[in-house]
């Protein structure tokens, strides 16, 4: 059973930075892609960033230029570096990974941007 463990959330002031980590229990090379999603109170879960097994990335328009997704295959971990954080980035952030057969969700990590 694949497990994804997200960490790194917290409270940060506007303009600040955080780095989220998503550690997998097995090799992340088995996943076609890995994503970061977020869900703010009263809103639907939205895709924030994706990195494919080949290293290609794409981002939601709202975070492009501020967030960077990356992967470390040796540590079986995907990261989300978040810079220039805004109030509207406040949400629970989830990692997600998908093989050709199945998708897996990690538990959420809370990010709160507040002064």
Q: One digit per residue, pLDDT tens: the chain, 115 residues?
A: 889 999 999 999 999 999 999 999 989 998 999 999 999 999 999 999 999 999 999 999 999 999 999 999 999 999 999 999 999 999 999 999 999 999 999 999 999 999 9
Check residue 76 and report its DSSP letter: T
Which tokens go with 90? 């406040």
Check residue 43 and report its DSSP letter: S
Helix (H) or strand (E) holding 92: strand 91-98
Of 81, 77, 87, residue with least CA distance to 6: 77
Amino acid 1: pLDDT:
82
Amino acid 3: pLDDT:
95
């Amino acid at each position: 059973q694949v497990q994804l463990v997200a960490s790194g959330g917290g409270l940060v002031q506007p303009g600040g930075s955080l780095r989220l980590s998503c550690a997998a229990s097995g090799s992340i090379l088995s996943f076609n892609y890995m994503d970061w999603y977020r869900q703010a109170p009263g809103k639907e879960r939205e895709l924030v960033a994706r990195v494919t097994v080949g290293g290609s990335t794409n981002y939601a328009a709202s975070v492009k230029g501020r967030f960077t997704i990356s992967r470390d295959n040796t540590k079986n971990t995907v990261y989300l570096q978040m810079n220039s954080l805004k109030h509207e980035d406040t949400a629970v952030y989830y990692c997600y990974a998908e093989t050709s057969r199945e998708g897996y969700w990690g538990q959420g990590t809370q990010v709160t941007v507040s002064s």
